[in-house]
Structure formats: C-alpha cells, structure tokens
Amino acid sequence: MLKAVILAAGKGTRMNTLTAELPKPMLAVQGKPILQHIIEGLRDHAHVRHFFIIIGYQGDVIKNHFGDGSQWKVSITYGVQEVQNGTGKAPELAAPWIGRERFLLTYGDILIDPSDYGYLHDQFAGDGVIALKAGEDLSKGGAVVLDTEDWMIDLVEKSTQPPPNSYYNAGIYLFTPTIFEYTARLEKSPRGEYELTDALKALTSSGGRIRGVQLRKRWVDVRDPEVLASLNQKTDFAP
C-alpha cells in the first residue's frame, strides 16, 4: 500500500503576516487547510492510509489539528526538521518509517485535482515518477528535461533559456527508497541548502530512471497571498 510523505516544515515567508502564527500548509483554501486537501485527496484517490508529515515552523499547529489522523480515517506520523536547511535532507526523517516500500512525496503547499494522485501512482516506472506541468513559466522553477520516452535526463533551475522538451517541476514525486542513497551524499547548494532536485539529478546521472508524467488537470502552487486569495474567490474549486 502506498505511503505518503508531506513536506510541511517551511516558514512560507512570501505569505507575509498570514503565516505569523500559522505554518503555510495550514492556510485555508475554500474553508479548510491546504494540508487537509492534500491528505483527503491522497486518501480518496490514491488509497493512502499512512502519512508522514515533516513539520518545523509552528509544527504544533499541524499536530493539534490532525493528531494521529484517526478523525480522517488515516494514520499520521510526524518528524521534526529542526534546521531549515532545504528539502534534500528532510525526507530522510521518514526513511525508517518508509522501510522498503515506494512512497509519494509532495510539498505541503501544492494543490492538484485529487484524481491525478491516483494517475501518478498508476504511471509508476523505473526508480520513480516526477509530476510535471505544461505551460508554466520555466524561469520561475525547475525545468525537467525529458528524452523521447519521457524519462528525465536533466533538471535545470530557473532557466531563462530552458532546453527543448522541458516541463515545469510540479513538486510531487513517487520514489523507491533508492532515493535515500542520493540524499545521503548531498552537499549544500550555492544558496546554502540541501536540494532534493540535486539528488534526482545524481540518481539519473548514475543510471537511475525517473519517469516524467504530466498532470492532466488543475495544479496550483499556493506560493503567495495573491494565489491564495484567487483560490478563495473561485466558485468552481473542487476539493
């Protein structure tokens, strides 16, 4: 059975005062926290029953809301990222809990049409899957470069001249525990953080295979107050 790891430790500084007392994944979209949308979507559409939430900033708010998950008919375990040093090392907190099973990893501020969670799971191949979104501004995020059979061959961050056959990194992945062999070797990036994308690049450059899968429906990075406000003004937002 698929397990899920959710990265929910960051401060969400671009949200300004909205995250003064709340972690970003607990900001409300259409009346419930972003994180709750994610958990319910994975439960209902990918049959996930076991979650590991990585918390940090204002983590008690998340624990107090979700508890052990029983109210949502799931099981929730928590890990604390004591130092905010990037997304590359944070998933290692869940490694003993994951064991030998494949797992889904998502950022705690990404909303998609929940049916795509099941779709991504169905597309699993090789050493994992990276979710992609077409039509996004590749200069604002990671450009995932695919070969002719949709295997990832490179990942270029915030490129003003992205290579051909590139798609936006949607921030959702499926992995086997093999990924931890590469997070263990990470060194800090120029901005002083451990980057998960560097582990992906190391995996593929050493012969591993990550399949790029385009999301079919809605994808939203709840990155700033404007995006949040837009979501809450929609009348056609389906949870």
Asked if residue 37 is part of any domain, the answer here is yes
Residue whose pair of structure tokens reads 């130092």 in the numeric block: 83
The 3-state secondary structure of 191-233, one letter per residue: CCCCCHHHHHHHHHHCCCCEEEEECCCCEEECCCHHHHHHHHH
What secondary structure letter does DSSP report for 20? S
Structure tokens at 165: 């056959």
Residue 234 is predicted with a pLDDT of 83
- Asked whether residue 71 is assigned to any structural domain, the reply reads yes
Residue 85 counted as domain residue: yes
Closest CA to 166 of 189, 204, 139, 196: 139
10 is a domain residue: yes
Predicted local distance difference test score (pLDDT) of residue 140: 85
Joined together, the tokens standing for residue 159 give 């490129």
Identify the pLDDT of residue 182. 98
Per-residue pLDDT of the chain (239 residues; tens, 9 = 90+): 899 999 999 888 889 899 999 999 999 999 999 999 999 999 999 999 999 999 999 999 999 999 999 999 999 999 999 998 999 999 999 999 999 999 999 999 999 999 999 999 999 999 999 999 998 989 888 999 999 999 999 999 887 888 889 999 999 999 999 999 999 999 999 989 999 999 999 999 999 999 999 999 999 999 999 999 999 998 776 65
In sequence order, the 6+-apart residues with CB closer than 8 A to the CB of 130 are 144, 152, 169, 170, 172, 173, 200, 210, 211, 212, 213
Tell me, what's the pLDDT at 238? Answer: 64
Provide the domain limits for residue 143: 3-233
Specify if 238 maps to a domain.
no
Question: Model's pTM, two decimal places?
Answer: 0.96
Number of domains in the chain: 1
Q: Which residues sit opposite 6 in a β-bridge? A: 53, 106
Q: What is the CATH number of the domain that holds 23?
A: 3.90.550.10
Predicted local distance difference test score (pLDDT) of residue 13 = 86
> Which positions ≥6 away from 124 have C-beta within 8 Å?
102, 174, 211
Predicted confidence at residue 162, as pLDDT, reads 81
pLDDT at 239: 56
The C-alpha atoms of residue 129 and residue 147 are separated, in whole angstroms, by 14
- The two beta strands, 3-8 and 50-55, are parallel
Helix 115-122 vs helix 34-45: crossing angle, to nearest 10: 50
Residue from 108, 12, 15 nearest 62 by CA: 108
DSSP lists the bridge partners of residue 33 as 28
In a domain, 96, yes or no: yes
